[in-house]
Amino acid sequence: MRRLRLLSALLLAPALTGCFASEGADGTSDDTGDGSRLRVALAFPPAENLSPYGADATILSRLGVTEGLTALDANGAAAPALASSWRRENDRTWLFTLREADFQDGTEVTPAAVAASLTHATEAKPAPAALAGVTLTAKAEGSTGVRVTTKDPDPVLPLRLSSPSLAVLSTKAYAGDDGADPVGHATGPFELTKVMGATAATLDRFADYWGGRAQASGVDVKFVADGTARANALRTGQVDLAEAIPVAQAATLDPGTRKATATTRTTSLLINTASGPFENAGLRAAARQAVDTSVFAKDVYEGYADAGTGIYGPAVTWAEGKRTAPTGRARPADADGTTITLATYDNRPELPEVAQVLKQQLEKAGFRVDLEVREYSRLESDALDGKFDAFVLARNTLVDTGDPVSVLASDYTCDGGYDIAQLCDKDVDKAVAKAERVTDTDERQDAAMAAEAEILGTDAVVPLIHQRIITGVGTGVRGALLDPYERTLVGTGTRR
């Protein structure tokens, strides 16, 4: 099978020759030795015109364009970023002290600018996932402080403010009528200088970055949805970094160039609970019962994954010891030829194969399945509007805030901004709300697992696998940032 896949990769990979010339924003070559430009292939084209408030926020974060007041360290704790320190003044108020920094448009990072940026995020429609269920206000305090107050106590606010969707932009970013414009208005080591729709982008080194001068002089990005094309571009030396290498193409790469990272990403079957046949809890139970998760980790992901056990996987190291069994599940009903629409996207190449296997498993259980596969940016709005009966989604459970409760609030509550399962259950909302109020870390984890059990008990989600992401890293590349939260890829030390 591996030899056949290797042959297919070589024969079918689209030609990308010439796509990744090492050129700056002015079209001139920049291989002078003063930090060669990096050539990067990303899997997901911008779905929202690089808005910092939705899924595109992670693109900006991974490319070193944007930053928030805080970041996540290797242990998932809040670490300084634009804020050098912070302290909690009372149960609803935190004071963040800013470091000296500049925006890429030459203006200074001031308390007023930071407060304005956070205020714009609170007014965004739809709200950033990191703010699901949270109401906050931000005000300048003196020459270096930003005071953030939440309507309800929020013990994980420093974690929340690390979210890529709460990146700080300059006042000039909001001058137009099209929302926030990150081009030239962020604070990271690389400045976004040119965006060619959903096909490419150019970034140049931001010389005045507070964290030091980036070793690469810039980044040339191509958005390449085809996984075989990304793998082939790395193998033939056309790119230096390629994200989300399909497991089927991993064998085509030199072993030293494929880096597998355990992540907090879980691939799940999300089931539409609000309309269509799966409004019936018994049919949801029948679908869940039909799924054999062991097949996906072993066969589809060829060992680069673990069988699904819950919303949180092995990379969330504390979860397994605190997991409780779901209760109150409905009795499985007879599928009796019920027709359902199952959808997924092809930016992550394994997902269509996962969906095909699911289709077979569900049909064996008596369902009739219509499968729809599109590129993610052409699918997201329909998924959020509940136009599919079931949806296969690869979701990093800690990407939004680093807090385990936040993904539950955004994905599975009545007011959640990313509720593809269309779940609105009073017991789930009660359990999530309870978890959000807990301040002690250990107790918050316990409460998160109790809420997970409530969610799984509705059969709105069937966890399939916990993924290890394969990133292609060229042999001459140093300092690529590979982390389980998938927030970073390129930083000041990334070079070739």
CA dist 427 to 133, 413, 451, Å?
16, 10, 9
Cα–Cα distance for residue pair 25/35, rounded to 1 Å: 15
Q: How far apart are the first and last CA of the chain?
A: 34
Residue 126, preceding peptide bond in cis (omega within 30° of 0) = yes
- The type of residue at 272 is N
Instruction: From first to last of the 496 residues of the chain, give the pLDDT tens digit.
Output: 333 333 343 333 444 444 444 444 344 334 434 569 999 999 999 988 889 998 899 999 999 999 999 999 877 889 999 999 999 999 999 999 999 999 999 999 999 999 999 999 999 988 888 888 789 999 999 999 999 999 988 889 999 999 999 999 999 999 877 779 999 999 999 999 999 999 999 999 999 999 999 999 999 999 999 999 999 999 999 999 999 999 989 989 999 999 999 888 999 999 999 999 999 999 999 999 999 998 999 999 988 999 999 999 988 888 989 999 998 899 999 999 999 999 999 988 899 999 999 999 999 999 999 999 999 989 999 999 999 999 999 998 887 888 889 899 999 999 998 999 999 999 999 999 999 888 888 899 999 999 999 999 999 999 999 989 999 999 999 999 998 889 999 999 999 9
Beta bridge partners of 426: none
> Counting every residue, how long is the chain?
496
Q: What is the pLDDT of residue 386?
A: 97
Select from 137, 168, 142, 140 the least CA-distant residue to 67. 168
* CA dist., res. 146 & res. 138, Å (int): 7
Query: Could you tell me if 53 and 179 are in contact, meaning their C-beta atoms sit under 8 angstroms apart?
Result: yes
- Asked if 71 and 81 touch (Cβ cutoff 8 Å), the reply is yes
Residue 35, pLDDT score: 67
Tell me what pLDDT residue 184 has: 95
| Token pair recorded at residue 373 | 């596969």
For residue 34, the model assigns a pLDDT of 59
| Number of neighbours of residue 347 by Cβ within 10 angstroms | 23
Sole residue written with tokens 């209760």 = 327
How would you classify the pairing of strands 241-242 and 70-72?
Answer: unpaired
Q: What is the pLDDT of residue 9?
A: 38
Residues 16, 18, 20: CA angle, nearest 5 degrees: 85
* Gap between the Cα atoms of 66 and 184, Å rounded: 10
Taking each helix axis as running N to C, give the angle between helix 2-12 and helix 227-235, from 0 to 180 degrees, rounded to the nearest 10.
Answer: 90
What gap in Å lies between CA 426 and CA 167, rounded to an integer? Answer: 32
In three state form, how does the secondary structure of the chain look? CHHHHHHHHHHHCCCCCCCCCCECCCCCECCCCCCCCEEEEECCCCCCCCCCCCCHHHHHHHCCCCCCCEEECCCCCEEECCEEEEEEEECCEEEEEECCCECCCCCECCHHHHHHHHHHHHHCCCCCHHHCCCCEEEEEECCCEEEEEECCCCCCHHHHCCCHHHCCCCHHHHCCCCCCCCCCCCCCCEEEEEEECCCEEEEEECCCCCCCCCCCCEEEEEECCCHHHHHHHHHCCCCCEECCCCHHHHCCCCHHHEEEEEEEEEEEEEECCCCCHHHCHHHHHHHHHHCCCHHHHHHHCCCCEEECCCCCCCCCCCCHHHCCCCCCCCCCCCCCCCEEEEEEECCCCHHHHHHHHHHHHHHHCCCEEEEEEECHHHCHHHHHCCCCCEEEEEEECCCCCCCHHHHHHHHHCCCCCCCCCCCCCHHHHHHHHHHHHCCCHHHHHHHHHHHHHHHHHCCCEEEEEEEEEEEEECCCCECCCCCCCCCCCCCCCCEC
- Map out the domains of the chain with their CATH numbers: 11-65+188-254 (3.40.190.10), 70-174 (3.90.76.10), 263-468 (3.10.105.10)
pTM (2 d.p.): 0.77
Helices 350-364 and 281-290: crossing angle, nearest 10°? 110
pLDDT score for 327: 85
pLDDT, residue 451, reads 97
Residues contacting residue 468 through CB under 8 Å, at least 6 positions apart = 260, 261, 262, 263, 301, 304, 305
